[in-house]
Amino acid sequence: MKIFYLYILHSCKDGTYYIGHTGDLKKRLKWHNAGYSLSTKAKRPWKLVYQERYQTKSEAQKREYELKRKKSRKYIEFIIRCAAQLG
């Protein structure tokens, strides 16, 4: 069974966050850091700071859109802090 991921990246350059989803997390992170994604190219390097696993692509997409709709840096940082405390 294929696993899909919701992920949050943190820009080491300017401290911004990027939210996305993928079926191959390692490959996607390399893609962002290689500059192949126009939306993240200028803010490289990126560090993976958070991930959630889903059984379907649509679940991962729904979660991505949910987080992006909030447009809240505080909420993103809250999620990251909570995950760090658990793990």
Summarize pLDDT for 4-42 with one digit per residue, the tens: 999 999 999 999 999 999 999 999 999 999 999 999 999
> Among residues of the chain, what percentage have pLDDT more than 90?
95
Q: Which of 68, 74, 87, 58 is nearest to 18 (CA)?
A: 68
CATH of the domain at 70: 3.40.1440.10
Other Cβ atoms less than 10 A from the Cβ of 85: the count is: 7
DSSP category for residue 41: G
Task: Supply the range of the domain harboring residue 21.
Answer: 4-86
Question: Into how many domains does the chain fold?
Answer: 1
Mean pLDDT value across the chain:
96
Q: Edge-to-edge, what's the strand order for the sheet holding 4-11?
A: 17-22, 4-11, 46-54
Band (62; pLDDT cuts 50, 70, 90)? very high
Band (65; pLDDT cuts 50, 70, 90)? very high
State if pTM tops 0.85: yes
- The answer to whether 18 and 1 have CB atoms below 8 angstroms apart is no
Band (86; pLDDT cuts 50, 70, 90)? confident
